[in-house]
Chains A and B, each alone.
Chain A
């Protein structure tokens, strides 16, 4: 069948263009969709099975627990606060630098943490993307624009800051207890997604980033492990960081 199609094409083409100075080639294409019902190669099944088993084992490994569970909420939720605090604390440790503000975009929080044990698999559900932790030095006036975009779209999680959202605009902004200074440079910790201009991060796009290849997901796992090591549950609260 294949040969026949190729021959046809070649005849038709040659008949149309015998004056061409080109070598004629026929190309037949086909895209195969790899579907479940396609037959499988048992050698490959055998090859990946042991890896798959330990992947499942690792994913089910418990690294902490929560007595209340953590949920994503607007304008402020305990899950967003937890993730933003994680960026702040693990970011400062990794980059060895004082961070003024950390931010997690709402769209990047893909799940929640139910009451009970926290497995590695849960952290993967929460953050399936390979987002990286990045730092940026952002001038106060730009930071204000960013916070207005956050207020408009709805924050995921913020740390180091208190603010009100009124008519989708940020107001009463306090950073480390002091009003936002339009001329001051602030160290902001976010994911590379936000820093590259994704979602509400549009005004952050183009500002120099410090990036150490540190996955946000790894930061979350290390943070949970650190809390567990201290014998504490991963319980977080809302505390009026963002209010209407």
Chain B
């Protein structure tokens, strides 16, 4: 959809007007354009880090912890209206909490923080699928995963490929993809789980979300950001997808300097972001869309990234 030149002029003058405080408003500004905003908060690879790292003089001493993260999330929620809180997997494994309680306090903490959705990481299989399925009841959030087939496993029926969230005027479609389990997770822990090509399946489900009229399509991914060989990664998915606007990644424990931007198959931008591990960081992405009131957003998004310094 080409940008409407009139809308462009109006928007520009509206914004400029507001900025310069000239008070010169276009007559039909309200009828022609609206701005919708959504704030996406995200974590990945928290690895059972419920408490901050111990004060032992190491690099991460004092960082992380669910109590501080929860307070920050609450603050942000009180400042902005439309918030989605997401996690890209590997909730489990890494501290004695997991060895003892197999994920129960992790899931309860996420429920308390109000996570909207998560995907599954390879370490979430560590105490078995039956355990994950059982702990999920404490999580109270949907697990999104479109490329694992859990038929005749204890996880059957416990995940959904995608979910649509309505936030204000925005329809946000979220799907999830998981990494190849063979060689990564012991065979006996993933049992009969079938792994399907993440690119093919992510595209298939993103297409469904696109046809559903989603304004923003987000993929939670535990594929890893990129590799030196041709192993499937978020980078490859970003370049090979059609309709995914944003990939919230994990697995590689990478602290991104800034979100990465790729051109997708539709010529629009697909953004990839990841925030390290252990809950040391909370990622925040504020999207804002301007559009004419009666029309859907365009097929492909050109994204201008800026740093929020507020």
Contacts and interface: CB of A to CB of B under 8 A. Distances in A.
Given A30-B284, A32-B281, A39 B68 contact: yes
A27 B100 contact: no
Given A2-B286, A29-B283, A44-B112, A24 B66 contact: no
B255 to A, nearest CB: 8
B68 A40 contact: yes
Interface in A50-108: 51-52, 54-55, 58-59
Interface stretch (B198-206, B219-227, B235-243, B288-296): B288-296
A2 B81 CA distance: 13
B152 interface: no
Nearest to B300: A22
Interface in B87-121: 93-97, 100-101, 104-105, 108-109, 112-113
A207 interface: no
Nearest to A45: B67
A33 B72 CA distance: 10
Given A7-B18, A11-B15, A34-B63, A21 B96 contact: no
A103 to B, nearest CB: 20
A11 B16 contact: yes
A4 B310 CA distance: 10
A167 interface: no
B62 interface: yes
B212 interface: no
Interface in A113-135: 124, 130, 132
A36 B61 CA distance: 9
Interface of B is mostly: mixed
For chain A, the bracket of interface size reads: 35 or more
B273 interface: yes
B50 interface: yes
Interface string A14-48: 11011011111111111111111011111111011
A220 B18 CA distance: 67
B125 to A, nearest CB: 9
A47 B50 CA distance: 10
Interface residues of B, number: 84
B156 interface: no
Interface string B43-73: 0000000111000000000111111111110
Contacts of B70: 40-41, 43-44
Interface string B255-276: 1101100000001100101010
B133 interface: no
B283 A31 contact: yes
Given A11-B15, A24-B304, A27-B304, A41 B285 contact: no
A48 B18 contact: no
B56 to A, nearest CB: 11
Given A31-B282, A45-B67, A52-B50, A25 B289 contact: yes
A200 to B, nearest CB: 21
Nearest to B282: A32
Contacts of A34: 52, 63-65, 68-69, 72, 279-282
Contacts of B310: 1-2, 5, 30
Contact of B297 (A17, A21, A23, A42): A23
A145 interface: no
A52 B289 CA distance: 44
B280 A33 contact: yes
A34 B68 CA distance: 7
Interface in A126-154: 130, 132
Given A24-B301, A47-B109, 8 more contacts: A21-B300, A23-B301, A27-B286, A29-B306, A30-B307, A39-B68, A44-B67, A132-B186
Interface of B: 1-3, 5, 8, 11-12, 15-16, 18-19, 35, 37, 50-52, 62-72, 74, 80, 93-97, 100-101, 104-105, 108-109, 112-113, 126, 186-189, 245, 255-256, 258-259, 267-268, 271, 273, 275, 279-291, 297-310
30 contacts: A5-B309, A6-B35, A6-B306, A8-B15, A8-B306, A13-B302, A14-B12, A20-B3, A22-B300, A23-B298, A23-B299, A23-B300, A23-B302, A24-B290, A25-B245, A26-B303, A27-B259, A27-B271, A27-B304, A29-B284, A30-B308, A31-B256, A35-B68, A41-B71, A44-B112, A47-B109, A48-B66, A52-B51, A54-B100, A213-B186
